[in-house]
Amino acid sequence: MDFIFMLTHGDKTVSNCLEVFDEINGVGVSHIGFKDVGVDQDTLKILTRRIKDSGAISYLEVVSTTPEAIRESIKTATDIGIDRVLGGQDIESALAALSNSEATYYPFPGRPVGHPTRLGGSPEDIEADCARYRDAGCPGVDLLAYRANEANPLDLVKAARKGLGDGYLIVAGSIESPERITAIAEAGADAFTIGTAVFDNVFASGGNTIAYQCQEVLKVCGSAS
């Protein structure tokens, strides 16, 4: 299981994201991301460069809610050199925008609404979306399983796994305990994102630093793989 540490709290990139990166650099986190809201583009560009210079994979998750804003967010991703773009659903537009970059695209299956985002859709909807996205050329998806308001989260993870085949399945949002990591691993997830739970020091007891929380998450990843 891959742990994608999101430098975010409450669905926004934290204002001190550069300092947080410095704190966790070297503890073993090899997937690091952030949202397209919360700090300015110049800061995100510096952050992306530091992530990539460290040898980690960089992620930008799109939380914009209008087609125009989503297109602008994806343009930001290409401008700052992101490795993987998460979110959104305009597959044709996103893939075209990313075609001249090295970034790959992992859209949201289902019906994401609002910010913070809630996810509508049945397991059948999720499976169909995942299959369609793979056919379109996406290497995987970003599934907001624990933001679901119409279905059991683990049923959605299993459905996504079925629809993706061997595609890369990321589960994002509200992964806040070792038990949830184990559950999504058993249901077929390849990776997950955590942000707020690390910043609030609620993932693991025994230490109240961001670096400590990240190390504890990584321990669970090892046992859940």
pLDDT in tens, 105-121: 999 999 988 767 789 99
Looking at residue 90, what is its pLDDT?
A: 87
Looking at residue 48, what is its pLDDT?
A: 97
- Does position 200 have pLDDT exceeding 90, yes or no? yes
Looking at residue 203, what is its pLDDT?
A: 93
Considering the domain 2-224 in this protein, what is its CATH number?
A: 3.20.20.70
Domain boundaries in the chain?
A: 2-224
pTM summary value? 0.95
Nearest to 115 by CA among 5, 11, 6: 11
- Give 104's strand partners: 84
- Does position 14 have pLDDT exceeding 80, yes or no? yes
- Does position 104 have pLDDT exceeding 70, yes or no? yes
- Does position 13 have pLDDT exceeding 80, yes or no? yes
| CB hemisphere CA count around 41 (13 angstroms) | 11
Looking at residue 67, what is its pLDDT?
A: 77
- Does position 225 have pLDDT exceeding 70, yes or no? no
The per-residue pLDDT of the chain, averaged, comes to 93
